[in-house]
Amino acid sequence: MATLKIGLFGIGLDAYWEQFEGLKERLEGYLSVVEGNIAAIHPEVVNLGLIDNAEKAFEAGSKFRKEDVDLIFLYVTTYALSSTVLPVVQRAKVPVIILNLAPEAAIDYTSFNQIANRTKMTGEWLAYCSACPVPEIANVFNRTGIKFHQITGMLHNDPECWDEVTEWVEAAKVANIMAYNRMGAMGHYYSGMLDIYSDLTQQYATFGGHIELLEVDELAYLRKNITHEEIATRVADFKHKFDVQDDCSEEELQRAARTSVALDKLVETYKLGSMAYFYKGTGNFDNEDTISSIILGNSLLTARGIPVAGEYEIKNAQAMKIMDSFGAGGSFTEYYAMDFAADVVLMGHDGPGHIAIAEGKTKVRPLKVYHGKVGRGLSVEMSVKNGPVTLLSVVEQPGKGLMLLVAEGQSVAGPILEIGNTNSRYKFSIGARKFVNNWNSYGPAHHCAVGVGHISSKLQKLGQLLNMDVVQVC
C-alpha cells in the first residue's frame, strides 16, 4: 500500500523581496509553521517552499508529480500572481486546499500607523495580505476547471482552522486507503436481491483499488489443511474475545475455528483489505460446511480492519471500509423494525459484526437455521456502543455514478431482539419516521454501514476529494 504524501507550497511575489527587507524571510517562517502543523497530523509532507514566479511554478508542478503527492495545501502568505499558482496545480493534477491564513487575529493598527517609514509600513501590510489574492486564484481555478477547497482562518490560536486541516488530511488518508485496497468478492449475489447488484467497474472508477473474485471452493480446500493445534488456539481466541454462550457446542466452535483460520490464510494469500461474500453451498457438503461456519471468523476479520459484508454486498463492503479507515468501525446493518413508542429504528443484520465497536462483549449463540440461507451454526449478537453514530451507504445513482448517503444519530440503550444477530436501537434528530422516509427517498440499497462517532464532516470532505455527491439526511 502506498503511503499518503501531502504537498505544500507557499506563494509570494519576487518583486517584493528587494523592496521590503525581511519580508521573504518572515513569510518563509510562516510557511515553516504551516509545515510543522501539518507534519504533526501526517509526517509525509513535501514542502517546496515559497513559489514566487512562473518559472518556479512549473518546476514545482513537475516536482509534485515526481513525488506522487495525493493532496496539495497552497498556503497564501501575501499577494501573489495567479500565474505563480496555476502551473503548480495543473501539473500535479491532485486536489488542492487553499490555506487563507492570517498571521494574527488582527493588525495592531496603532503600532502600524506609528511606523514612520512608508516603505516599511507597506512591507508590514503585505505580511498580513494573505486574503488579497484568493479571489484571483479562485477565479482562475474556476475558469480552468480546477476544483479547489478553502480554509480561511489564522496561523496561530485557531483550533477550528486546524481541525478542518486535520479532517482534510484524514479524508485524504481514507481516499488513499481506498485507492490501494484489495477487496475480495467471494461467491455470488443473493438471488433476487436486485438492489445490491453492483457495477464493479464503476467501483474502480470511483474508488480505485482492486477487486479479486474468489471461489468458496478455495476456502473449503484451505480448511482441510488446518491443524488441530491451530483450531484449539482459535477456539481459545473465540472464548477470550467473545461471550460464548453455554449452549454453544465444542463441535460448532471447532468448526467455526477451522474456517476462521482458513479465512486468515485466504486474506493473506490475496492481501485483502475487505471482503463481500455469499454462497448457497447446496449439494456440496464441503462448501456448505464452510459457508455455514464463517460468521465468527468474519467478525474477527472485521474487528481488525478487514471489514466483511454479507450477501455479496460490494457497495456496503466499500462503505464499511471507509468507516473503518476513519477509525469509526463499520458494521453491516439494515432496518429491522421501527419502535414508534420510543421513536427509534431497530437496525442490525445476521452474519458478522464489528465486535470492536460493540456495547459490551459480543455474544456467540447457536442457530438451528440461518433464515433465508442454507445451513446452521454459530452467530454473533451485539449492539453498537451507546452514543453518537454515523450511517453510511454507497449508492448507485441512475446515470450519475456513485454517491455517499450519510446520517448521524445516537445508539441508545433499550430492549433488543435476542435472536443471535447484530441489533441496535438508533435515535435520530429528525425522528424515526422522517429519517426512514428521507433515507429511502435517495434509493440506497437496504444495507448500510454504521460506525461510532459523528463523522459526517469528514465524509463530506472525502466525497469532495473523490468527486462524489454527498447527501446528509440528518
Distance CA 281, CA 77 (A): 64
Tell me the CATH number of domain 181-472, given options 3.30.70, 3.40.50, 2.60.120, 3.20.14.
3.20.14
The pLDDT value recorded for residue 416 is 86
Nearest to 153 by CA among 70, 41, 76, 51: 76
Q: What is the mean pLDDT of the chain?
A: 93
The pLDDT value recorded for residue 340 is 96
Query: Which residues in 91-106 are b (16+ Cβ under 10 Å) and which e?
Result: bbebbbbbbbbbbeee
Mean pLDDT in residue range 136-160: 95
The pLDDT value recorded for residue 344 is 96
| Banded model confidence at residue 351, pLDDT cuts 50, 70, 90 | confident
What count of other Cβ atoms lies within 10 Å of the Cβ of residue 283? 8
Can you point out the beta strands (E) in 32-115?
45-51, 71-76, 96-102
User: pLDDT (tens digit, 9 = 90+) per residue, 222-248?
Assistant: 999 999 999 999 999 999 999 999 999
6-178 adopts what CATH topology?
Answer: Rossmann fold (3.40.50)
Inter-residue contact 266 to 218 (CB < 8 Å): yes
β-pair type (401-412, 422-427): antiparallel
| Banded model confidence at residue 375, pLDDT cuts 50, 70, 90 | low
The pLDDT value recorded for residue 369 is 67
The pLDDT value recorded for residue 205 is 96
User: pLDDT (tens digit, 9 = 90+) per residue, 187-232?
Assistant: 999 889 999 999 999 999 999 999 999 999 999 999 999 999 999 9
Q: Please calculate the CA angle 269-214-190 and round it to the nearest 5 degrees.
A: 145
Residue positions counted in the chain: 474
Distance CA 126, CA 171 (A): 33
Which is more confidently placed, 379 or 9? 9
Domain range annotation of the chain: 6-178, 181-472
What count of other Cβ atoms lies within 10 Å of the Cβ of residue 215? 12
The pLDDT value recorded for residue 52 is 95
- Res. 372: pLDDT tops 80: no
Can you point out the beta strands (E) in 368-421?
377-381, 387-397, 401-412
